[in-house]
């Protein structure tokens, strides 16, 4: 599931409220029946309340604009000279196609650098299977130009579009298509700007910009043996999207070598298109084989000379990160299969052998931080650890020895912002619903730079003048400010996004015994204080993600649902990040126990304080892990939860991926996995249940819902099921998304 690294930013997708979370096997449901069920989604339900019809215009606008986000600056990165910012932005408030822009800080003017229609010359954008999968892993909801990379000097911008690679020099005319063959993905310029590396047809290539010629670093790539790409679990569960890395001198490149042959093959067919052959997918399930990952290095001048990089692969099969740097040795971070042990290793570039610098151990799991290590010019490096009970930022010597703790747990460190000279910029907040920017030095004296809100910053590469600060608050959507290192604002990246007609009617509070659960409540805009309202719990509940954040965009759809006559409640229980190791690790091997218990405890505490909450009429809804939680709630606590709408639920953890599942549940054991499954409890379903699942979901496969349905049908239980033909884990079709929300609201009005 997404949002594994608690220090990484989680992109809140509009797709069916809540974020992050395995093959379609027929369990007695015929294609005919699936189509009948699907047609039920598209039919407007009778007796739809007038107030819902009145607010349907808002719902359509909300979905068409992707939560009023289309047209807002994205992925903004300052250039090295500090004179401009390169960013992406949709072409209009209702257009998903992304284009590339430059913001000049001195003139405050914005220039369109590249647009997809101009580059494709009227042709339709084509995405390869590899690119579609990459976008699923990164939860990319736009088309066109969706990412870019700057050279270190900032003079070159490289991006891919429709399987082709483009190079652009701001101020020097239009983007140029590089003369590459085949479908290319993941282009990255070399630090000196002369080369562009990319992956095509399972091989790694380097394009020489001066010679206008590509050369193959590898040539024997196949589906079974691939080069330069991050395997599925690295992309989905480790927040690592690439599988190769330029060395700082631009003369050599490190790349991943994948042996995919041990991984189990699932043959996934689409019942809506029986004329198409099934797609063979290699999916690693708990207790079964992963991709065998190795590393190698090649010199650009002699690509035929490939040197393997060696570490104890049997002990540390997971490659978490690779860090080339000018300030220290090449380092890798690796982890054991059970994820109890993590090691930072320095690589001898001559012999390829590894030497351990730092080791981390936790009897449950070790969280990973893709930002670490961060090497400093003096040869020391920054490192984060939870060994003292919460995240702390440490300064280590070149040999790995810890020199000092710069930011102890009491500072509530969340994420590194950037390092300029001896100054360290970081994000922290005592309350994980917020995130502010702070500055410290190597002596550990901290100073807050910005006000409350949820902040994300980007200092770019090798620059010391400016940074981009994306700010979200309960009363405003994301705004992108350009600031100097002292926090002063010198510009704002322009947005052309539509503004919502109103903002959510939000209340943030806490519930339960000390320390209590963070809670967000959304009331109807026509709320009457003396009236009792049915309650909808909008749940995620899984690890690595805070549902309760002080950002209006997280609750826009919840406001629409509340306006149908409900109070919508979000509760962050144990297992959510930002409140220390013990709080987060409480869910270890207890997915079906702790998260549900905390939702109930928080709900009951709120009921004692807020008389408008009718706890005799409580529904629950969520997507992915939230879908799992929703089904679990009506199965195990039917006296509390009277109805559930579950999207893409994991129903059997033996069918989810290795990295995520084994991290939190351990290596499979029959009793443990059964205790956290929905299948054994399914025959006891008493409450109304609506299941929704995309048939093309490659994260939580359609198989999950089919297995649950099989159990329910064999037990003679009633339920509703909506298969979304051709949809993945993200439901991007506006018509489908609108009907899902309408059907969800009607389902709760009928049953509460």
For every residue of 619-660, which 3-state class applies, written as one string? EEEEECHHHHHHHHHHHHCCCCCCEEEEECCCCCHHHCCHHH
Across the strands, what pairs with 385? 392
Closest listed residue to residue 3, CA positions, set 408, 343, 387, 370: 370
Task: Assess contact for 628 and 652: CB atoms under 8 A.
Answer: no
Helices (H), 397-496: none
Closest listed residue to residue 197, CA positions, set 255, 147, 140, 236: 255
Between 33-37, 220-224, 363-367, 673-677, the lowest mean confidence (pLDDT) is in: 33-37
Q: Look at residue 103 in the predicted model and tell me its pLDDT.
A: 97
Reported residue count of the chain is: 752
Average pLDDT of span 549-578 = 98
**Strand order of the sheet with strand 341-347?**
318-323, 330-335, 341-347, 354-361
Within-domain flag for 684: yes
How far apart (Å, rounded) are the C-alpha atoms in residues 577 and 75? 24
CB neighbours of 113 closer than 8 A, spacing ≥ 6?
A: 86, 99, 100, 101, 102, 157, 168, 170, 175
Neighbours of 403 (CB within 10 A): 12
Domain span holding position 574: 36-65+502-751
Q: Look at residue 575 in the predicted model and tell me its pLDDT.
A: 97
How far apart (Å, rounded) are the C-alpha atoms in residues 171 and 382? 37
Q: Look at residue 506 in the predicted model and tell me its pLDDT.
A: 98
Task: Assess contact for 515 and 591: CB atoms under 8 A.
Answer: no
Average pLDDT of span 506-510 = 97
Q: Look at residue 464 in the predicted model and tell me its pLDDT.
A: 64
Backbone φ/ψ region at 638: left (φ over 0), alpha (ψ -120 to 50), beta: alpha
Q: Domains in the chain: how many in total?
A: 1
Check whether the bond before 116 is cis (ω within 30° of 0). Answer: no
How far apart (Å, rounded) are the C-alpha atoms in residues 309 and 307? 7
In this predicted structure, the answer to whether residue 703 has a pLDDT above a threshold of 90 is yes
Check whether the bond before 454 is cis (ω within 30° of 0). Answer: no
Go through 92-127 and write b for each residue having 16 or more CB atoms within 10 A of its CB, e for each that does not. ebbbbbbbbbbbebeeeebeebbbbeebeeeeeeeb
Q: Look at residue 142 in the predicted model and tell me its pLDDT.
A: 86
Across the strands, what pairs with 384? 393
Residue with tokens 């991709």: 291
DSSP designation for 218: -
How far apart (Å, rounded) are the C-alpha atoms in residues 557 and 563? 10
**Helix/strand/coil (H/E/C) assignment for every residue in 127-185:** CCHHHHHHHHHCCCCCEECCCCEECCCCCCEEEEECCEEEEECCCCCCCEECCCCCCEE
How far apart (Å, rounded) are the C-alpha atoms in residues 478 and 470? 6
Average pLDDT of span 158-185 = 92
Question: Three-state SS for 433?
Answer: coil
Q: Look at residue 410 in the predicted model and tell me its pLDDT.
A: 92
Q: Look at residue 32 in the predicted model and tell me its pLDDT.
A: 33
Say what angle helices 594-609 and 625-636 make with each other, to 10 degrees: 70
The band of 587, judged by pLDDT with boundaries at 50, 70 and 90, is: very high
Say what angle helices 31-42 and 734-751 make with each other, to 10 degrees: 80
pLDDT in tens, 105-126: 999 999 999 999 999 887 888 8
Question: Three-state SS for 538?
Answer: strand
Encoding tokens for residue 453?
A: 């809100």
Work out whether strand 195-200 and strand 95-104 pair parallel, antiparallel, or are unpaired: unpaired
The band of 2, judged by pLDDT with boundaries at 50, 70 and 90, is: low
The continuous run of DSSP H or E covering 245 comes out as strand 244-246
Question: Three-state SS for 257?
Answer: strand
Q: Look at residue 303 in the predicted model and tell me its pLDDT.
A: 78
Within-domain flag for 285: no
Within-domain flag for 160: no
pLDDT in tens, 606-657: 999 999 999 999 999 999 999 999 999 999 999 999 999 999 999 999 999 9
The band of 16, judged by pLDDT with boundaries at 50, 70 and 90, is: very low
Encoding tokens for residue 85?
A: 């910012």
**Helix/strand/coil (H/E/C) assignment for every residue in 305-337:** CEEEEECCCCCCCEEEEEECCCCCCEEEEEECC
How far apart (Å, rounded) are the C-alpha atoms in residues 100 and 94? 17
Between 11-25, 427-441, 579-593, 627-641, the lowest mean confidence (pLDDT) is in: 11-25
Residue % of the chain over a pLDDT of 70 = 92
Go through 539-549 and write b for each residue having 16 or more CB atoms within 10 A of its CB, e for each that does not. bbbbbbbbbbb
Within-domain flag for 677: yes
What is the average pLDDT score of the chain? 90
The band of 510, judged by pLDDT with boundaries at 50, 70 and 90, is: very high
Residue with tokens 């995309």: 694
Closest listed residue to residue 139, CA positions, set 736, 655, 699, 649: 699
pLDDT in tens, 218-269: 999 999 999 999 999 999 999 999 999 999 999 999 999 999 999 999 998 8
Task: Assess contact for 677 and 698: CB atoms under 8 A.
Answer: no
Within-domain flag for 593: yes
Q: Look at residue 461 in the predicted model and tell me its pLDDT.
A: 67
Phi, psi of 389 (to 5 degrees): 105, -10
Across the strands, what pairs with 342? 335, 360
Neighbours of 420 (CB within 10 A): 15
Question: Three-state SS for 47?
Answer: coil
Q: Look at residue 475 in the predicted model and tell me its pLDDT.
A: 95
Say what angle helices 734-751 and 56-64 make with each other, to 10 degrees: 140
CB neighbours of 432 closer than 8 A, spacing ≥ 6?
A: 412, 414, 518, 546, 572, 576, 577, 578, 579
In this predicted structure, the answer to whether residue 213 has a pLDDT above a threshold of 70 is yes
How far apart (Å, rounded) are the C-alpha atoms in residues 431 and 572? 12
Distances in Å between the alpha carbon of 30 and those of 284, 706, 713? 27, 11, 14
Average pLDDT of span 298-315 = 93
Encoding tokens for residue 150?
A: 């700057």
Within-domain flag for 657: yes
The band of 449, judged by pLDDT with boundaries at 50, 70 and 90, is: confident
Within-domain flag for 243: no
Q: Look at residue 19 in the predicted model and tell me its pLDDT.
A: 35
Extended strands (E) in 13-94: 74-78, 84-92
How far apart (Å, rounded) are the C-alpha atoms in residues 39 and 543? 35
DSSP designation for 229: B
How far apart (Å, rounded) are the C-alpha atoms in residues 154 and 102? 12
**CATH code, 547:** 3.40.50.1820
The band of 463, judged by pLDDT with boundaries at 50, 70 and 90, is: low
Question: Three-state SS for 614?
Answer: strand
Within-domain flag for 544: yes
Task: Assess contact for 586 and 575: CB atoms under 8 A.
Answer: yes
In this predicted structure, the answer to whether residue 520 has a pLDDT above a threshold of 90 is yes
Task: Assess contact for 556 and 68: CB atoms under 8 A.
Answer: yes
């Amino acid at each position: 599931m997404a949002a594994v690294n608690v220090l990484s930013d989680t992109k809140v997708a509009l797709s069916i409220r809540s974020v992050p979370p395995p093959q379609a096997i027929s369990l007695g449901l015929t294609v005919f029946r699936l189509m009948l069920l699907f047609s039920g989604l598209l039919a407007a339900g009778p007796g739809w309340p007038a107030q819902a019809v009145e607010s349907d215009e808002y719902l359509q606008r909300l979905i068409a604009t992707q939560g009023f986000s289309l047209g807002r600056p994205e992925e903004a990165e300052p250039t090295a000279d500090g004179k401009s910012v390169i960013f992406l932005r949709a072409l209009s408030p209702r257009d998903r196609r992304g284009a590339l822009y430059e913001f000049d800080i001195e003139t405050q003017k914005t220039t369109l650098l590249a647009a997809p229609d101009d580059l494709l010359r009227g042709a339709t954008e084509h995405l390869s299977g590899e690119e579609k999968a990459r976008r699923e892993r990164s939860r990319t909801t736009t088309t066109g130009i969706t990412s870019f990379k700057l050279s270190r000097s900032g003079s070159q911008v490289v991006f891919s579009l429709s399987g082709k690679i483009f190079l652009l020099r701001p101020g020097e005319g239009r983007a140029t298509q590089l003369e590459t063959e085949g479908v290319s993905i993941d282009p990255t310029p070399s630090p000196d700007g002369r080369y562009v590396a990319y992956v095509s047809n399972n091989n790694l290539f380097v394009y020489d910009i001066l010679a206008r010629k590509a050369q193959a670093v590898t040539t024997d790539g196949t589906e079974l043996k691939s080069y330069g790409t991050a395997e599925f679990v690295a992309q989905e569960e480790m927040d690592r999207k690439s599988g190769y890395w330029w060395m700082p001198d631009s003369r050599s490149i490190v790349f991943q070598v994948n042996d995919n042959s041990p991984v189990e093959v699932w043959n996934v067919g689409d019942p809506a298109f029986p004329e198409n052959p099934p797609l063979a997918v290699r999916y690693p399930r708990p207790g079964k084989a992963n991709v065998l990952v190795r590393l190698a290095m090649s010199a650009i001048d002699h690509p035929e000379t490939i040197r393997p990089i060696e570490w104890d692969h049997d002990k540390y099969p997971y490659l978490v990160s690779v860090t080339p740097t000018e300030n220290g040795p090449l380092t890798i971070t690796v982890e054991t299969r059970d994820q109890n042990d993590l090691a930072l290793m320095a690589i001898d570039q001559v012999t390829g052998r590894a030497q351990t610098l730092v080791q981390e151990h936790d009897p449950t799991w070790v969280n990973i931080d893709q930002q670490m290590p961060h090497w400093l010019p003096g040869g020391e490096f920054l490192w984060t650890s939870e060994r003292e009970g919460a995240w702390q930022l440490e300064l280590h010597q070149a040999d790995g020895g810890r020199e000092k703790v710069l930011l102890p747990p009491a500072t509530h460190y969340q994420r590194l912002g950037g390092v300029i000279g001896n100054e360290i910029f970081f994000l922290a907040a005592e309350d994980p619903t917020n995130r502010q920017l702070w500055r410290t030095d190597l002596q550990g004296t901290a100073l807050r730079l910005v006000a409350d809100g949820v902040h994300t910053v980007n200092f770019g590469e090798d620059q010391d003048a400016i940074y981009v600060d994306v700010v979200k608050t309960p009363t405003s959507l994301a705004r992108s400010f350009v600031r100097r290192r002292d926090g002063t604002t010198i510009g704002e990246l322009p947005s052309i996004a539509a503004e919502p007609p109103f903002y959510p009617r939000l209340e943030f509070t806490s519930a339960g015994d000390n320390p209590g659960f963070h809670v967000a409540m959304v009331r109807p805009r026509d709320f009457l204080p003396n009236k009792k309202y049915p309650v909808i719990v909008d749940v995620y509940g899984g690890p690595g993600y805070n549902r309760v954040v002080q950002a209006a965009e997280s609750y826009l759809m919840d406001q629409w649902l509340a306006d149908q006559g409900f109070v919508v409640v979000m509760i962050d229980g144990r297992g959510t990040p930002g409140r220390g190791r013990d709080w987060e690790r409480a869910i270890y091997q207890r997915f079906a126990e702790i998260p549900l218990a905390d939702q109930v405890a928080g709900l009951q505490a709120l009921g004692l304080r807020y008389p408008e909450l009718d706890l005799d009429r409580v529904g629950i809804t969520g997507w992915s892990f939230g879908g799992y939680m929703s089904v679990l709630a009506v199965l195990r606590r039917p006296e509390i939860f009277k109805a559930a709408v579950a999207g893409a639920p994991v129903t059997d953890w033996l069918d989810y991926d290795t990295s995520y599942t084994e991290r939190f549940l351990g290596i499979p054991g029959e009793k443990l996995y059964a205790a956290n499954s929905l299948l054994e409890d399914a025959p006891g379903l008493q409450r109304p249940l609506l299941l929704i699942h995309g048939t093309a979901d490659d994260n939580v496969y359609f198989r999950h819902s089919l297995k649950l349905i099989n159990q329910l049908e064999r037990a003679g239980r009633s339920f509703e099921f909506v298969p979304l033909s051709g949809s993945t884990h993200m439901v991007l079709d506006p018509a489908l998304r609108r009907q899902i929300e309408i059907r969800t609201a009607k389902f709760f009005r009928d049953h509460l």
